[in-house]
Each structure stands twice: as structure tokens, then as C-alpha cells.
Amino acid sequence: MLMIWFNKPHDLATFTPAWAFLIFPLMLVGVVAFNVLKVIPPEEPRAIGVLLVGYAFQGLGTMIGSLFVGFCLTQYRILHDILLYLYLHHPVCPSRIMPARSNLVHR
């Protein structure tokens, strides 16, 4: 799978959610390490290594997965729409504090 991935360049404009399949093995290492820790006695020196490697790979997989979700939301312009909605409906939005000049009535 890695040879297929690294043989050609990839652009974020061609991003698909299927790219997330590349990080599932990383996250699976964390799950396997958790189950291995149930079997290994805590007194063994290998237990701390299994714990740290599992924790690191689970965190790395979660971080990359979060980046992929951000890429997906950005590509589909969902994130832009959400942020614009939150900005316009925020109580201290500049457009609510100071109305536009066309709305002002001069007598």
C-alpha cells in the first residue's frame, strides 16, 4: 500500500476520504497494544515499551485522521460555511455593533 501511495505525487485538490485508509494500521497498533497489555504482567520491562509505542501510534493515527477530516471539510467548503455562520451570528459581530452606512438615516 505504501508503494502505491508514494510512487506518484498527490494534491489536496484531489483529496478523497479514502486516503484515511492509510492510517488505520497506525490506529490498530494502539488497539493491539492495549490488548497485549492485558496479557503482559506489569513487572516485565516489555510492558512499558508496549504501552509507549501503542500510545504514540494511537495518537499519531488520531492526529493524522483529524487532519484528513479537516482536509475533507475544507475541500467541500463545509468548514468555510460553518465558520461564516458562527461569525455572522456571534453576539459581538462587527456588523451588529456598527450598522452599515446605508442603514443610517440622516435628518
Annotated domain spans of the chain: 15-103
> pLDDT per residue over 73-89, tens digit each?
777 777 677 777 877 77
pLDDT at residue 91 in the model: 67
Handedness of CA 93, 97, 99, 101 (dihedral sign): negative
Q: Please, are residues 53 and 29 in contact by the beta-carbon 8 Å criterion?
A: yes
Residue scoring higher pLDDT (10 or 105): 10
Which three cell numbers, joined as nine digits, stand for 98? 456598527
pLDDT at residue 92 in the model: 65
Residue 98 vs residues 24, 27, 101: alpha-carbon distances, Å: 49, 49, 9
> pLDDT per residue over 7-66, tens digit each?
878 776 677 777 778 788 888 888 999 999 999 998 999 999 999 999 999 898 888 888
pTM for the model: 0.59
